[in-house]
Structure formats: C-alpha cells, structure tokens
Amino acid sequence: MKRFALWAPLAIFALLFAVVASGLFRPADKVVRSAMVGKPLPDFALPAMVPGKPGLTSASFKSGQPRLLNVFASWCVPCIAEAPHLMRLKTMGIPIDAIAIRDTTPAIAGFLRRNGDPYARIGSDTASRVQLALGSSGVPETFVVDGRGIVVKQIIGDIREDNIGEIVQAVREAR
C-alpha cells in the first residue's frame, strides 16, 4: 500500500503527460460535419441569383439524377480556388447547382465572369437560412445529392484536385 502511494503521483503524471502529448501530436478534428448526410434535403425554395439562370428549390433534386449542391459566395476566397475543379466536374457530365450565401447579383455575375460558371441553377440565400438548414458551417462546401433528394456526401472546404475522384465515385454510386 505504501509502495503504491509512493508511485501513484508519478503514474498519474505519466498518464496526464500521455493525454496532453497525444493531443499535441494528433490535434483534434475541429471540422463541423453536417448531420444531414444520409437524410433528405430540407425543403427550400430560393429565388434566382443572376438573370437568365433559374433559382433553386429542393424539388429539383428529385429528378432521378444525382447532382452536386455547391454552397459558395463571391466574397469567399477559397471558392476561387475550387472554381476550376468544379468546371472540370461539369465537363465530366456532373450537374452542379449552387446556393450563393449573402450575396448580390452584380457580385455573383462578376465572380462567374472571372472564374467560370459551372452551375445549372443558383439560388440566393440572403440570410444563410438554407445554409443553416443544410448543416453547413461555412463556404465553400459541396453536397452530393442522389436522385431522390437524399444527401449522400459532404465535402467541407474547397474542392481540390485529389477530391475529384471521391466525388465522381460518390455520384456514380448514387445513380
């Protein structure tokens, strides 16, 4: 018993040290994932963002074909970085719709002119209402939605070169 009491503080210290060190070497995952993956899209109807392109409703995701839903904004810097990758996904035949967060028509028109326009429809979410309903916590984010309107995948942050494979695969599996 006495022996145990002698070593216990050191043992507790070692345990604490191990906990802290593991946190240092493998920092916690601070990404906030949507709890909507695996669930149907929330009902929404957003007005058109730019002239000549329709707005976005949740009903248009029940067409039988999987689509990407990109959450973006003209004021978002990483959205510029992912634009060429979205264009590439479009040329691969994957339809992409978008929700523009707290944005204006001229700003979005300018963004599309500068960075390309991969979108079939763009809805205007002026108060981030649909973004919150989707469980999205920032821009850009991309959701893969199957043909019945069920969210099957969420990509947080800008789409990079090495995300393209998993997105194409998720779309193929959702068919």
Binding site for other proteins (CB under 8 A): 30, 32-36, 73-77, 101-104, 107, 126-129, 131-135, 137-138
DSSP letters spanning 125-165: ETTSHHHHHTT--SSSEEEEE-TTSBEEEEEES---GGGHH
Separation of alpha carbons 84 and 59, rounded Å: 28
CB of residue 155 to other proteins, shortest distance in Å: 17
Provide the minimum distance between the beta carbon of 95 and other proteins in the complex, in angstroms, as a whole number: 25
Give the three-state DSSP class for 6: helix
In the complex with other proteins, the residue whose CB is nearer, 89 or 139, is: 139
Give min distance, CB of 107 to other proteins, in A: 5
Cβ contact 99:8 at 8 Å: no
Nearer to other proteins, 60 or 124 (CB): 124
Minimum CB distance to other proteins smaller for 56 or for 171: 56
Q: Which is closer to other proteins, CB of 106 or CB of 116?
A: 106
CA-CA distance, 7 to 162, in Å (whole number)?
A: 50
CB of 47 to other proteins, least distance (A): 14
Cis peptide before 140 (omega within 30 of 0): yes
